[in-house]
Amino acid sequence: MFVWLGAGLVGCNAQSVATPTTQFSPQQLAEVPAEYKGKTMPATSSAEHGAILYATHCASCHGEKGLGDGPAGLALMPPPAPIANSVKLMGDEYLFWRVSEGGTPFGTAMPAWKTLSEQDRWDVLRYLHTLGEAQPSQ
């Protein structure tokens, strides 16, 4: 069984977000490195602060609503992830790993965001969940 999640939190491209480019098996999705295992979103995370960080660092590739349609990633491959949808399918530790380490483990152009504080990364993830809640279930 394979689940298409785009390429997770990755670089951007103008291709349709409905076009799968990367398939991850459930086993691959579960292979979170030890340093990220067990990470959970703190209750203190702020969607409001995350929205500001998302607009600054993420929306140019992932799009304003997280649908993978941002203008800055037009030349990047694979296409951007529709993170508003895929965030509903991934756990906290996996998402935190992807945001922190970027696309290198997955062969994408997304930068590693461990340059942001841990709290900032959690704030972005809290905001991504609000984007996910605004999208119809698929």
**Domain segments of the chain: what residues?**
3-133
Q: Please, are residues 4 and 21 in contact by the beta-carbon 8 Å criterion? A: no
Residue 8 CB neighbours (<10 A): 26
Residues 66-75: tens digit of each pLDDT: 998 999 977 7
Both tokens assigned to 1: 């069984």
pLDDT tens, position by position, 10-61: 333 333 333 333 444 444 555 899 999 999 999 999 999 999 999 999 999 9
Task: For residue 45, give Cα distances in angstroms to 35, 41, 109.
Answer: 20, 7, 26
Q: Is 7 helix (H, G, I), strand (E, B) or coil?
A: strand
CATH superfamily ID and name for 3-133 = Cytochrome c-like domain (1.10.760.10)
Most confident range (mean pLDDT) of 75-79, 82-86, 132-136 is 82-86
Answer for the pair 6, 17: CB distance below 8 angstroms, yes or no. yes
